Amino acid sequence: MADESIDVRGLTCPKPLVETKKKIRKMEVGKVLEVIGDHGPSKIEIPEMLEEAGNEIMDVSESEGVWKITILKKEV
Amino acid sequence: MEDYHTEKRGVTLTKLSLIMFSGELDKALAGFVLASGAAASGWDVTLFFTFWGINIMRSENKTALEKKDITSKMFGRMMPKGTEELKLSSMHMAGIGTSLMKKRMKEKNVSTLYEMIQDAKELGAKFLVCDMSMEIMGLKKEEFIDEVDDIVGVGTYLKEAKESDVNLFI
């Protein structure tokens, strides 16, 4: 289960990525964040960019146009 | 000179620097989408505001502390005062086009320019204003929004650009 969750449905570029980053930077290392959204490119870009920053992507799933990304915070 | 290149976890961060030359809404938006997106991706981000671009960072309500000469006053009145007064570079149509664009952005849940400035800032972007542009346009440092980090010369920008992986002129 995720420790924190953020809903970015309805938001468009670059807001889903920006809001995800604003949320995860305030979390402790080792905590899990769940991001729920519907902006197409962000489903690919959020995992790529957060992984590059040092985090671990645990899961990406999608159902009826709504995706869910589960991220383990590792970046310091 | 201070080294602006940041290291985190022993890794040198990817660095983006933008020359914000234009004082038009659409161009400023393009710059700040990149700035906030890069900052959110953990990049080291620096924006250098020069010529018309410095008007993006003007405060709506702050005024100069000291008296200005007549040319400075004229420049001050003729140029846009901050994000809300910027016009589109095309299709402005006496304000109708720009209003329509803002309405459309709101409908589509796109952040306003000022929200993007705040997001980029919160995620660590640095905003530098060109000292020479400020002088010729007669603006004072107290007339800019609080998000501005520093007033600098070309040397600072060149150093930033040299260290950058991505550098764009907007």
* Gyration radius of chain B over CA positions: 16
In chain B, which residue's Cα lies nearest the Cα of A8?
B109
Instruction: List the domain boundaries for chain A.
Output: 4-72
Range of the domain at B91: 7-169
- Residue A51: pLDDT band by 50, 70, 90 thresholds? very high
The stretch A32-58 carries a mean pLDDT of 95
Partners of A54 on chain B (C-beta within 8 Å) are 9, 42
Question: Which pair of tokens denotes residue B56?
Answer: 């993006």
Q: Catalytic residue positions of A? A: 13
Q: What per-residue confidence (pLDDT) applies to B13?
A: 85
Over residues B68-84, the pLDDT tens digits come to 999 999 999 999 999 99
Of B53, B1, B45, whose CA–CA distance to B25 is shortest? B53
d(CA B122, CA B144): 17
Q: How many CB pairs under 8 A join A and B?
A: 48
Over residues B5-31, the pLDDT tens digits come to 666 656 678 999 999 999 999 999 999
Q: What is the ipTM of this complex?
A: 0.84
For residue A76, pLDDT over 90 is answered with: no
Partners of B111 on chain A (C-beta within 8 Å) are 15
d(CA B101, CA A20): 26
Residue B98 falls within a domain, yes or no? yes
pTM of the complete model:
0.89
Sheet holding B150-152, edge to edge: B150-152, B126-130, B44-49, B15-20, B166-169
Test mutation, B12, B13, B109, chain A, max A CBs within 10 A: B109
d(CA B45, CA B123): 9
User: What size, in residues, is chain A?
Assistant: 76
For residue B118, pLDDT over 60 is answered with: yes
Partners of A22 on chain B (C-beta within 8 Å) are 40, 119, 122-123
Cα A60 from chain centre: 9
Which strand (E) or helix (H) includes residue B49?
A: strand B44-49
Contacts of A41 (CB under 8 A, 6+ apart): A13
Domain count, chain B: 1
- CATH for the stretch A4-72: 3.30.110.40
Residue B130 falls within a domain, yes or no? yes
The stretch B118-134 carries a mean pLDDT of 96
d(CA B45, CA B47): 7
Residue B125 falls within a domain, yes or no? yes
CATH (domain of B44): 3.40.1260.10
Question: Which pair of tokens denotes residue B118?
Answer: 């705040």
Residue B27 falls within a domain, yes or no? yes
Report the gap between the CA of B129 and the closest CA in chain A (Å).
24
Q: What per-residue confidence (pLDDT) applies to B2?
A: 52
Test mutation, A13, A15, A45, chain B, max B CBs within 10 A: A15
Contacts of A40 (CB under 8 A, 6+ apart): none
Subunit contact A49:B40, Cβ cutoff 8 A: yes
The stretch B58-71 carries a mean pLDDT of 91
- Helix A15-24 vs helix B113-122: crossing angle, to nearest 10: 30
